[in-house]
Every structure is written in C-alpha cells, then in structure tokens.
Amino acid sequence: MMRMPLPVKLFLYVMACGVLALPLDAYAAAAPGINALSVTTGADGSQTYTLSIQVLALMTALTLLPTALIMMTSFTRIIIVLAILRQALGTAQTPTNQILIGLALFLTFFIMAPVFDKAYQDGVQPYMNEQMPVQEALAHASEPFRNFMMAQTRDSDLALFARISGKESIESPDQVPFTLLVPAFITSELKTAFQIGFLLFIPFLIIDLVVASVLMAMGMMMLSPLIISLPFKIMLFVLVDGWALVIGTLASSFYV
C-alpha cells in the first residue's frame, strides 16, 4: 500500500476535524437549500426575479466591465499612443506599465465624463427611481456610448464589417447594431492610434539618425547611438512640454 506524505496526512486530518466540529444545527439549516429562481409577477404584468438571480446577473456584468471599458471608450487609443511614445523615447520601462495604465485610465475617465453623465441621467437614474423598465433604461444608457463610438468610427470600417456580416442594407446610424459598431470602432481606434504614434516617432527618429551619423563620422562605431541620443531626446521632450502636448492632443482628438 502506498504511504501518503506527512503534509497530506496533516491536511486531511485538519479538514476532517473541521467538518466534524460543525454543529448539527448548521447541517439542518443548510439542508433545505436556497431557492435559486423565483419570479414574482406584479399587477401590471411586470416580473421581478429573486435577489440571488439579480446578484448573479450583476456579478456577470461586472466581469464584462473591464472589456467594455477598454473596447468602448477612449482607453485603447490612449494606451497605444503612450506605449509608442515610450518606445520612441527609448527609455525602456520608464514610465512603467502601471504608470502608463493609470494615466490612460484616468485620462479615459476625464474624456468619457460627459458620456458617463448622460448615460446616468438618461438611463441609470430613471431606472433607480423606478420610472422606466430595465430594457428601456439599457437602451437610453447605451445611446451616449453609441453616439461617441459613431463619431470616432470611420465609414470605411463600418462598411467593412457591414459587408462581412451581410448587413449592407443599413440606411442610418441608428440602425447599426452594437455587434457591428464595436469591432468597427476598435479598428478605427487602432488605426488612429498608430497614425498619432507615427507622428510622435518622427522627431525622435531624426535625433537617432543625426547622432548615429555623427558617431560614424567620428569613428566611434563601437559606441551605441542610443546611449548618446537618449539625453537629447529627453531634453527635447521636456523643453517642448511634451507630456502636456501629447495628453492635450489625445484629449482634444475625441471632440474635434
């Protein structure tokens, strides 16, 4: 017979003691169980689900919240531009990923504040005041996000996904479903972010080329141009107030 290791024996012993130490009334109280689903029909025909189902739906929605924050707001464009800027400066991991994500997150809250406020006033607040059902509240709350994404999405990207999905008969922006609008918005954001990143890369690339040419002319081929060009790139970025220019340009690019 195979012998169990001592740590395994101790673990099983502790678990057995813990189970046996439970009072009998705890088993009796747990025996009936919890009603997972119960629906109450009101006088007007509306239905109210039990609290456990509401909590389950809320927790499921919270798991999708990070994805919605990244893919339906300005976060994607901001974080890509900041990452390209760090690469152009050549500062390796400075600023760190945590700083870039935090900066992009709070800048996203700043840019999306009008959208969040309108969604709360049009959908969330009336629903909490029991002035409209949940379906109507969701429709009103999603309308500001639809308008924001439509304003940032290129017509060519919308046409691309409409052609792929076979929904080329869309006549107005109000008829564009979210399943089509979200991927088109993400594609447009990626394209815009790389365009901004390309423009940011040019001045730093020129500095690298100039420093590399000077070192080559002086015969210092064993010296890395990145070591010499890094102070000049940081000095240029600081002198032109680069962070204010980049962040201000990113913020204003969503409302032009």
Q: Which residues pair with 126 in a beta bridge?
A: none
The tens digit of pLDDT for each residue in 119-167 reads 888 887 887 777 877 778 878 888 888 888 888 888 888 888 888 877 7
Proportion of the chain above pLDDT 70, given as a percent: 76
Say which DSSP state 46 is in.
Answer: -
Q: What's the mean per-residue pLDDT of the chain?
A: 76
Answer whether residue 5 shows pLDDT above 60.
no
CA distance 181 to 178: 5
pLDDT band at residue 79 under the 50/70/90 scheme = very high
Of 73 and 57, the one with more pLDDT: 73
Neighbours of 242 (CB within 10 A): 17
pLDDT confidence of residue 24: 38
Neighbours of 175 (CB within 10 A): 10
CA distance 144 to 116: 8
pLDDT band at residue 80 under the 50/70/90 scheme = very high
45-54 long-range Cβ contacts below 8 angstroms, 24+ apart: 46/133
pLDDT band at residue 51 under the 50/70/90 scheme = low
CA distance 86 to 109: 22
Q: What's the start-to-end Cα distance of the chain, in Å?
A: 77
DSSP line for 6-36: HHHHHHHHHHHHHHHTS-HHHHHHHSS---S
Burial 38-63 (b: 16+ CB within 10 A, else e): eeeeeeeeeeeeeeeeeeeeeeeeee
Which of 151, 164, 153 minimizes the C-alpha distance to 186?
A: 153
Highest mean pLDDT among 54-68, 135-149, 188-202, 226-240: 188-202
Model confidence, pTM: 0.71
CA distance 103 to 241: 17
The tens digit of pLDDT for each residue in 161-218 reads 888 877 767 777 777 787 888 889 999 999 999 999 999 889 888 888 888 888 888 8
